C-alpha cells in the first residue's frame, strides 16, 4: 500500500500485517526522535485506525503521563512485599532516561506518550502490549548464572549513582532499537540471555498481545521501537499458538523450590556449630562462638545501616536482626531496618517528587528520604551478608582449631 495514503508512515520504518480480518500497522519509532513524535501524531490524526497499541506496560505509562505517580507509591508496602529490588530497577531505568533527556533535550518515549494522549483525545481504545519491566528483569536474571546476576545487579546499582553522559554508540543504538535493550546493555553487555529476554521474547509477547487485545478493531496502529519491527511482523504472520497461552508462558517465572535448602544448610551449620562448641568446649567455648557470631553479623549489619544514614532505631534493628537473618529469611535485616527507617522518617510528597533528580547525585541519595530507605535496605543487607561469611569463617576456624 502506498505510504502517501497512510499519513505518518512516509519515510518511517513500518510494516503492515493482515491476519484474521485485522490489519496491523506497525510503526517503528526512535525513542529519542522528534520526527517519531510527529509521525505518531500524523498517523493517529489520519482517522484510519480503530485502536492504538503502544510498547508500554501500565507502570511505564503512568510514569510518562502522571508526573506525580511516584508520590502515590506506598513505600512500606513495596518493602513488605519484597519488591524493593524491582523498585530500584525501575528507578535505574528512570535515572537512565533522565540522563538521556538532559543530554538530548527530548524525553525518551515521548512518541509513546503522544500516541496515548492523541488516542485518548479521539476516544480510541489504547492497548498496552509490552511486558512489565520488573517481570522482564526477573526473567533475564533467572536465565543468568550467579556471576551474570551479580554483574546485572551491580550495574543497576552503579547506574543509580552515576551522572555521566550516555555514549554516542548507545544513543545510536537507541535510535535504531529499544529503550530496554539500550539500558540493559549498560548492565549486561554481550549476554545472549539478556538479549533474548529483553528483545526476542518481547517481540513474541507484543505480537501475542496485539492478537489478544484488538477487540472489535479492524485497523490497529501499533507504535513500537524500530528494533522490534521485523520480529513482531514475523510473529504476527507466522505464530500459530493461541495468544493467551503464549503470553502466559512468557510471563511465567521458574518455580522456586518449596524447601529453602541454602537457608536450612546455613542454619544447620550455625546452630550445629554452637551446639558442637557447647558440647566440646563447655559454656566458655559455646558462649564465645555465640558472641563472635552476634558481633560479626550484628555489627556489620549495623555499620551498613549507619553508612546509609539510618536513624538510630534503624541501626539498632539492623544489629538485632542481622544475627537471626541467616536462620529465618522472613526476618531479613535489610527489610526490617528499611521498614523502621520508612516508619520513623516517613518520606514526604516532596521526597517522592524530587526522587528522580536526587538520585542523579551521590549527595541526593542521603538527602532524599525515599532514596535513603533504599540505601538502608541494600547496605544493611550487604553488611549482614559480609558478617555472615566472616562470622561463619571465624566459627569454622575455632571449631577446627
Q: Which residue has the higher pLDDT, 280 or 347?
A: 347
Domain membership of residue 393 (yes or no) is yes
Domain membership of residue 74 (yes or no) is yes
Question: Based on the domain organization, do 277 and 366 belong to the same domain?
Answer: yes
Q: Which three cell numbers stand for residue 122?
A: 479521539
Domain membership of residue 256 (yes or no) is no
Domain membership of residue 61 (yes or no) is yes
Which of the residue ranges 170-174, 284-288, 290-294 would you say has the lowest mean pLDDT?
170-174
Question: Based on the domain organization, do 70 and 35 belong to the same domain?
Answer: yes
Question: Based on the domain organization, do 183 and 230 belong to the same domain?
Answer: yes
Question: Based on the domain organization, do 181 and 283 belong to the same domain?
Answer: no
Cα–Cα dist 344/154, whole Å? 29
Which of the residue ranges 148-152, 179-183, 237-241 would you say has the lowest mean pLDDT?
179-183
Q: Which pTM does this prediction carry?
A: 0.70
Domains: count for the chain = 2
Residue 364 confidence (pLDDT) above 70: yes
Which of the residue ranges 261-270, 298-307, 351-360 would you say has the lowest mean pLDDT?
261-270
Question: Based on the domain organization, do 39 and 64 belong to the same domain?
Answer: yes
Domain membership of residue 216 (yes or no) is yes
Residue 354 confidence (pLDDT) above 50: yes
Question: Based on the domain organization, do 285 and 233 belong to the same domain?
Answer: no
Question: Based on the domain organization, do 201 and 349 belong to the same domain?
Answer: no
Question: Based on the domain organization, do 199 and 327 belong to the same domain?
Answer: no
Domain boundary, last residue among 191, 221, 251:
251
Boundaries of domain holding 323:
261-400
**Which pLDDT score, from 0 to 100, does residue 179 have?**
55
Cα–Cα dist 112/119, whole Å? 11
Q: What is the mean pLDDT of residues 367-374?
A: 90
Residue 184 confidence (pLDDT) above 80: no
Question: Based on the domain organization, do 105 and 235 belong to the same domain?
Answer: yes
Question: Based on the domain organization, do 356 and 318 belong to the same domain?
Answer: yes
**Which pLDDT score, from 0 to 100, does residue 165 have?**
56
Domain membership of residue 215 (yes or no) is yes
64-99 pLDDT tens trace:
787 666 666 778 888 877 777 777 767 766 666 666
Q: What is the mean pLDDT of residues 161-187?
A: 55
Domain boundary, last residue among 251, 273, 301:
251
Domain boundary, last residue among 226, 251, 276:
251
Question: Based on the domain organization, do 162 and 293 belong to the same domain?
Answer: no
Question: Based on the domain organization, do 199 and 338 belong to the same domain?
Answer: no
**Which pLDDT score, from 0 to 100, does residue 35 have?**
82
Which of the residue ranges 203-217, 250-264, 278-292 would you say has the lowest mean pLDDT?
250-264
Residue 155 confidence (pLDDT) above 80: no
Residue 24 confidence (pLDDT) above 90: yes
Domain membership of residue 69 (yes or no) is yes
Q: What is the mean pLDDT of residues 200-217?
A: 91
328-345 pLDDT tens trace:
766 789 999 999 999 999
Amino acid at each position: 500500500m502506498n505510504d502517501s495514503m497512510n499519513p505518518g508512515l512516509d519515510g518511517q520504518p513500518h510494516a503492515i500485517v493482515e491476519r484474521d480480518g485485522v490489519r496491523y500497522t506497525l510503526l517503528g519509532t526512535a525513542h529519542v526522535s522528534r520526527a517519531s513524535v510527529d509521525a505518531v501524531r500524523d498517523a493517529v490524526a489520519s482517522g484510519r485506525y480503530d485502536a492504538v497499541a503502544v510498547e508500554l506496560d501500565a507502570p511505564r505509562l503512568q510514569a510518562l503521563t502522571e508526573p506525580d505517580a511516584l508520590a502515590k507509591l506506598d513505600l512500606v508496602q513495596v518493602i513488605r512485599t519484597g519488591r524493593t529490588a524491582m523498585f530500584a530497577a525501575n528507578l535505574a531505568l528512570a535515572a537512565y532516561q533522565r540522563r538521556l533527556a538532559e543530554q538530548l533535550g527530548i524525553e525518551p518515549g515521548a512518541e509513546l506518550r503522544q500516541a496515548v494522549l492523541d488516542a485518548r483525545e479521539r476516544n480510541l481504545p489504547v492497548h498496552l502490549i509490552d511486558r512489565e519491566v520488573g517481570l522482564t528483569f526477573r526473567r533475564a536474571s533467572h536465565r543468568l548464572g550467579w556471576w551474570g546476576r551479580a554483574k546485572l545487579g551491580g550495574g543497576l546499582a552503579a547506574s543509580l549513582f552515576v551522572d555521566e553522559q550516555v555514549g554516542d554508540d548507545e544513543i545510536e543504538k537507541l535510535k535504531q532499537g529499544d529503550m530496554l535493550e539500550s539500558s540493559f546493555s549498560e548492565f549486561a553487555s554481550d549476554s545472549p540471555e539478556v538479549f533474548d529476554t529483553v528483545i526476542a521474547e518481547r517481540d513474541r509477547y507484543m505480537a501475542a498481545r496485539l492478537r489478544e487485545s484488538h477487540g472489535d478493531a479492524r485497523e490497529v496502529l501499533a507504535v513500537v521501537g524500530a528494533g522490534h519491527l521485523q520480529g513482531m511482523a514475523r510473529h504476527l504472520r507466522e505464530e500459530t499458538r493461541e495468544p493467551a497461552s503464549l503470553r502466559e508462558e512468557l510471563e511465567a517465572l521458574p518455580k522456586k523450590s518449596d524447601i529453602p535448602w541454602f537457608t536450612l544448610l546455613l542454619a544447620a551449620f550455625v546452630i550445629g556449630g554452637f551446639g558442637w562448641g557447647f558440647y566440646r568446649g563447655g559454656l566458655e567455648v559455646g558462649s564465645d562462638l555465640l558472641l563472635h557470631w552476634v558481633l560479626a553479623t550484628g555489627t556489620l549489619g549495623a555499620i551498613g545501616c549507619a553508612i546509609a544514614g539510618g536513624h538510630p532505631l534503624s541501626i539498632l534493628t539492623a544489629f538485632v536482626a542481622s544475627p537471626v537473618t541467616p536462620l529465618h529469611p522472613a526476618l531479613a535485616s535489610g527489610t526490617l531496618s528499611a521498614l523502621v527507617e520508612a516508619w520513623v522518617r516517613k518520606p514526604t510528597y516532596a521526597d517522592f517528587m524530587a526522587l528522580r533528580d536526587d538520585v542523579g547525585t551521590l549527595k541526593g541519595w542521603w538527602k532524599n528520604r525515599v532514596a535513603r530507605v533504599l540505601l538502608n535496605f541494600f547496605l544493611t543487607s550487604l553488611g549482614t551478608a559480609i558478617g555472615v561469611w566472616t562470622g561463619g569463617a571465624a566459627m569454622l576456624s575455632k571449631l577446627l582449631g
